[in-house]
Amino acid sequence: MLKTPKSLRLHIGLFGRRNVGKSSLLNAIVRQSVSIVSEIAGTTTDPVEKPMELLPIGPVLFIDTAGIDDIGSLGQMRIDKTKKIIDRTDVAIIVISENKWAGFEDTLLAEFQKRQIPVIVAFNKADLNRPDERIVKKLQVMEISFIETVSTGNSGITELRETLIRVIPDEFINSSTILGDIIGPDKMAVLVVPIDKEAPKGRLILPQVQTIRDLLDSDSYCVVVKESQLSAALSKLTEPPAIVVTDSQAFAEVAADTPDDVPLTSFSILFARLKGDLNEFANGALAIGKLTSGDKVLIVESCTHHPIADDIGRVKIPAWIRQYTGCEIGFDTYQGNDFPENLSDYKLVIQCGGCMTNRRQILSRIMYCRQGGVPITNYGVAIAYTLGIFERALRPFAHSFEYPKQ
């Protein structure tokens, strides 16, 4: 059976001190022993992920984290790992036991509230202690959902599942479309997919597959071509397509072959809108024009693929930016869930399309960039900017987005 990709699952994180029963709670929710449980504090050292179908929400990903009340260097490493999970969390469960609620829990709760992440508090080990009235009052005042659980006795688990369903963000249920809202039903899109060294053998990559599925869901249809066949394909159509979508790497060639009155964009820009914030990324791209020699740019890729010789993030984007600016710019690359704590070295952050991660992680990165005063853009938007087709590539979204003043 083909599984729903991790990036499309609602991420539910379990957080709390060591030994409060986070792993036991995960095992009780998923009804399997997926995370090791023991009476020794600090049992979970690396995050444990468990995908499952949580009806009626659909596909979710539970993430059990290492308890983070420890001190010392090992403890610090755990704290850092857990922070990265917070960046991906759509819904948080704060687990406490024996009414231990102190500064640590307040900090955790404040962090989730700052990020507008829904929180549920689980008073676990409710067989040993009933919830303290003062904590209950405090949560009620803050309108935080809470639940009593006995994870080793399976009590409160059904209520916890029901509460999860109640608090999940609407945007997850009514998730936005990739292209359907732009071209509408019974319209045709032409998708340009280069079959080069970066193309995986025998299949299409996730953004391409998701776009095709989105078009079918929207009762639209598409033609898929290589860039070398675009002109021939367009000439065979009896009317112009509603849009041409290309892999960003073929942007210049495809822009030249697509008549100016046919809307044109890239998969990466579609994903900038789906996974991030197109306004933020469009404004961020303007920083490319202000780069000067000696400046540093951070490239972030949300998966850990092996770079190839003319890799887009390591070779092509740096080359296009150096060519556009005529300046000697430095580039650092971060992969997967890694993102630097300190952004002050950078004049710009360029995020990949993020097809392998969820929207929350990219929104977290946008938040860090805003806090650090560093502009952020994405691959497709940056490439369009350096190739001089910025306005054209953003034109299809004009109805829902404010074109930045250059």
Ligand X SMILES: Nc1nc2c(ncn2[C@@H]2O[C@H](COP(=O)(O)OP(=O)(O)OP(=O)(O)O)[C@@H](O)[C@H]2O)c(=O)[nH]1
Contacting residues toward ligand SF4, per CB under 6 A? 301-303, 305, 352-356
Which of 200, 403, 232 lies closest to 305, judged by CA? 200
Quick check: 23 binds Mg ion (CB under 5 A)? Answer: yes
Quick check: 44 binds Mg ion (CB under 5 A)? Answer: yes
Q: Which is nearer to ligand X, 67 or 313 (CB)?
A: 67
Of the candidate residues 41, 209, 319, 398, the single one contacting ligand X (CB under 6 A): 41
Which of 155, 15, 19, 154 lies closest to 87, judged by CA? 15
- 351 makes contact, choosing from ligand SF4, Mg ion, ligand X, none, with CB < 5 to 8 Å by partner type, with none
Q: Which is nearer to ligand X, 41 or 232 (CB)?
A: 41
Residue 207 Cβ vs ligand SF4, minimum distance, rounded to whole Å: 7
Q: Which is nearer to ligand X, 18 or 316 (CB)?
A: 18
Of the candidate residues 13, 21, 47, 318, the single one contacting ligand X (CB under 6 A): 21
Q: Which is nearer to ligand SF4, 305 or 322 (CB)?
A: 305
User: Which residues, 6+ apart, have CB-to-CB distance to 142 below 8 Å?
Assistant: 109, 113
Binding segment for Mg ion among 17-25, 208-216, 222-230, 388-396 (CB under 5 A)? 17-25
Quick check: 99 binds ligand X (CB under 6 A)? Answer: no
> What own/partner pairs with CB < 8 Å and gap ≥ 24 does 127-136 have?
127/152, 127/153, 127/155, 128/97, 128/98, 129/97, 129/98, 129/99, 131/99, 132/99, 132/101, 135/96, 135/99, 135/101
Residue 99 Cβ vs ligand X, minimum distance, rounded to whole Å: 13
Q: Which is nearer to Mg ion, 71 or 141 (CB)?
A: 71
- 355 makes contact, choosing from Mg ion, ligand X, ligand SF4, none, with CB < 5 to 8 Å by partner type, with ligand SF4
Q: Which is nearer to ligand X, 96 or 183 (CB)?
A: 96
Of the candidate residues 29, 30, 37, 264, the single one contacting ligand X (CB under 6 A): 37
CA 304 to chain centre: 14
Quick check: 24 binds Mg ion (CB under 5 A)? Answer: no
Q: Which amino acid is at 207?
A: P
Binding segment for Mg ion among 19-27, 150-158, 253-261, 324-332 (CB under 5 A)? 19-27
Residue 163 Cβ vs ligand X, minimum distance, rounded to whole Å: 17
Tokens of 146: 């809470």
Q: Hey, which residues between 129 and 158 contact ligand X (CB under 6 A)?
A: 150-152
Q: Hey, which residues between 114 and 133 contact ligand X (CB under 6 A)?
A: 124-125, 127-128
CB 359 within 8 A of CB 333: no
Quick check: 19 binds ligand X (CB under 6 A)? Answer: yes
Q: Which is nearer to Mg ion, 23 or 357 (CB)?
A: 23
Residue 355 Cβ vs ligand SF4, minimum distance, rounded to whole Å: 3
Q: Shortest Cβ contact with ligand X: which residue? A: 67
**Using CB under 6 A as the criterion, which residues of the chain lie in contact with ligand X when the complex forms?**
18-24, 37-39, 41-44, 66-67, 124-125, 127-128, 150-152
**Using CB under 5 A as the criterion, which residues of the chain lie in contact with Mg ion when the complex forms?**
22-23, 43-44
